[in-house]
Structure formats: C-alpha cells, structure tokens
Amino acid sequence: MAGTYSFDIVSKPDLQEIDNAINQALKEISQRYDFKGIIAEIEFNKKDEIKIHAQDEFKLKSIIEILKAKMVKRGVSPKFLDEGKVEAATSGTVRQVIKIKNGISKEKAKEIVQEIKNMKLKVQAQIMDDIIRVSGKSKDDLQAVIHNLRSKDFGIELQFTNYR
C-alpha cells in the first residue's frame, strides 16, 4: 500500500434545507399567538442572503432563534449564518440581513492549514480556492487530522468529503 490517501475540507451549506427551514419557521410564526397581527417576514433569495423584517428588535431576535432551531432540526449548522447589523426600517420596524457563508475564506484556510501543520503528522495540506485538500500515506494520520479539526472551533462549519 504505497499509495496516498486524501480528503477535502469544505464548508458548503445545503440551500434546499435552509429553504425548508425558512418555510417551517414562517409556518410556526404564522401560527404563534405572540406574532398575530404584527410584521414578521422572512425572505430568502435562494442564493446567499436572508432578509428578516420585524415589528421590533425583540421580535426580530425571536424570529432568528426560531429559524436557527428549525435549521438545527434539519441538520444545517447555524454557523453558516453571518448576521448583519440591525437596521431601522419604516414605521418603527427593524430589519436584518443575514448572509449565508459558503466556502472557506483564505484567512480561515490558512488558520486550518497551520493547525494541521502544528499536529506534526506526515500529511500535506493545500488550499485550492475554497477547499482544503489534505493528503498523506497513512489513513490513520488523516483520521487523526479529521478528529483534531472537529474538536476545534474555527467559527465555520467544516465538512470532510472525498475521503479516498
């Protein structure tokens, strides 16, 4: 077994599951008594952002918590959400734009690669756009890297794919 093994580290959200979580959150909001007769809207552009419009800041935070709970139930990490600042809208209402993080930024990729190098295992890590490929001769070393990275918090959701 002189071959090399590899896997990819990615951070890609399942947009369909996010859309499903938003639909479930909208359904719950429409049925809840504390949201009757007030402004509570969620818009999803199916690409990279969610717009939330609410009566006041307290209701806005409640909507976000409902959305995060629905995402967790559907197996999507809330780490994919990058909450923007709360802005004032018309008639005393508030709105917030939440960006959906897709891919690993260059800074995070360098941080992850540095963490892999600090493990002092016989593996190589290379950054390819928004993917990090880790390769090595030992499957055990690769599994040790995966285990170590799962125990760390880099502020983004890491997924390990293409394990060969």
- Delimit the domains of the chain by residue range: 5-12+103-161, 15-100
Residue 1 has pLDDT above 50, yes or no: no
Residues 66-79 have pLDDT tens digits of 999 999 999 999 99
CA distance 26 to 20: 10
Report the CATH architecture of 15-100. 2-Layer Sandwich (3.30)
Q: What is the pLDDT of residue 20?
A: 93
Residues 120-163 have pLDDT tens digits of 888 999 998 889 999 999 889 899 999 999 998 888 888 888 88
Residues 93-112 have pLDDT tens digits of 899 999 998 888 899 899 99
Q: What is the pLDDT of residue 27?
A: 93
| CATH topology (fold) of 5-12+103-161 | Alpha-Beta Plaits (3.30.70)
Residues 10-48 have pLDDT tens digits of 999 988 999 999 999 999 999 989 888 888 889 998 778
Q: What is the pLDDT of residue 2?
A: 54
Fold match, 5-12+103-161 / 15-100: yes
